């Protein structure tokens, strides 16, 4: 529960003027079914609110398996506040794929309960769709896709569907849970996605990080882009190290993260 606020400034030549210094808080991989210390989670939620960001973006895995895991935490996460609202997507664990259900309809019902719960907490859940964030005449396109992962992971994410109705030259921020989607699909797409926000890897909850000197985790052998900011073909991704934990009840060297990203217009102070 050693929460870290990591702040990044990213410059873009084509950022709409009104969004210079626009601030995003990203959280990911809450995994509420693993929580066992209410005071620490309250502290983390307050820490998110203290950032006073323009928007809060949650990039999937609210639960480990069942929607009911979030019930004791619903009121607390409802207190998250941002001027332009809170938006979310689903991660691979949110679908209930990792447990046995008596019937397919129970599994579907579980997912619907989770979707309703997100709405009750004030999150606008994006399921292969987009919203525009507007400031005067300027706007940003915010897209959210369902989970898309390499290999055996669910591939419900549909970038083409999410981008329908968006102009090619719009400034785009994409939420996609698994960074392999960015590597395999997003950066090769006809459309330019200025910034993608992902999670999923947790930095394997194990590694060594000394800023400016070393950044290592065994997860790097599975995910090329496993933690922090990367840039390819003029497009950025932030891979959040996760808010909660899964499996091993802790972290070694890779701490739970609240990402704060400030968008900058190149050439402006």
Q: How far apart are CA 263 and CA 18, in angstroms?
A: 11
Helix, strand, coil percentages, rounded to 5, for the chain: 25, 30, 45
Torsion of CA 200, 204, 207, 213, to 10 degrees: -20
* Radius of gyration of the chain, Cα coordinates, nearest whole angstrom: 18
Lookup: tokens for 92: 């691979």
- Segment (H or E) for 77: helix 74-77
Residues pairing with 191 in the sheet: none
- Segment (H or E) for 232: strand 228-232
Residues of the chain with pLDDT under 50: 204-207, 209, 214-217, 221, 247-253
Q: How far apart are CA 124 and CA 113, in angstroms?
A: 15
Residue closest to 55 by CA, chosen among 86, 27, 31 = 86
Per-residue pLDDT at 203:
52
Per-residue pLDDT at 251:
38
CATH of the domain at 216: 3.60.21.10
Q: How far apart are CA 224 and CA 72, in angstroms?
A: 35
Cα three-residue angle 258-63-67, rounded to 5 degrees: 135
Lookup: tokens for 214: 């070393």
Per-residue pLDDT reduced to its tens digit, 33-87:
888 889 999 999 999 999 999 999 999 999 999 999 999 999 999 999 999 999 9
> How many domains does one find in the chain?
1
β-strands 4-12, 257-265 pairing: parallel
Q: Which residues make Cβ contacts (< 8 Å) with residue 258, sequence separation at least 6? A: 3, 4, 5, 6, 25, 26, 27, 44, 47, 48, 51, 243
CB atoms within 10 A of CB 269: 6
The label of the residue with tokens 């606008």 reads: 124
3-state secondary structure of 45: helix
Q: Containing domain of residue 54, as a range?
A: 4-265
Buried b (16+ CB within 10 A) or exposed e, 119-136: eebbbebbbbbbbebeee
CA distances for 133 relative to 142, 171, 182, angstroms = 7, 10, 22
Cα three-residue angle 240-244-248, rounded to 5 degrees: 110
């Amino acid at each position: 529960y050693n929460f870290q606020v990591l702040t990044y400034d990213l410059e873009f030549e084509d950022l709409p003027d009104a969004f210079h210094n626009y601030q995003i808080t990203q959280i990911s991989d809450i995994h509420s079914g693993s929580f066992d210390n209410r005071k620490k989670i309250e502290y983390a939620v307050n820490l998110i609110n203290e950032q006073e960001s323009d928007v809060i973006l949650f990039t999937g895995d609210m639960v480990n398996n069942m929607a009911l895991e979030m019930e004791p935490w619903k009121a607390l996460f409802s207190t998250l506040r941002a001027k332009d609202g809170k938006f979310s997507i689903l991660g691979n664990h949110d679908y209930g794929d990792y447990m046995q259900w008596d019937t397919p309809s129970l599994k579907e019902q579980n997912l619907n309960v989770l979707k309703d719960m997100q709405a009750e907490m004030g999150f606008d859940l994006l399921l292969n769709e987009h919203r525009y964030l507007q400031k005067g005449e300027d706007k940003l396109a915010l897209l959210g896709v369902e989970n898309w992962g390499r290999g055996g992971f669910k591939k419900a994410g549909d970038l083409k569907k999410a981008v329908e109705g968006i102009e090619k030259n719009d400034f785009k921020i994409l939420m996609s849970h698994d960074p392999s989607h960015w590597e395999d699909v997003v950066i090769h797409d006809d459309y330019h996605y200025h910034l993608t926000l992902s999670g999923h890897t947790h930095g394997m909850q194990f590694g060594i990080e000394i800023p400016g000197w070393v950044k290592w985790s065994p997860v790097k052998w599975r995910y090329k882009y496993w933690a922090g900011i990367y840039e390819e073909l003029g497009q950025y991704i932030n891979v959040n190290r996760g808010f909660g934990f899964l499996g091993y009840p802790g972290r070694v060297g890779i701490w739970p993260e609240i990402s704060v990203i400030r968008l900058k217009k190149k050439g402006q102070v």
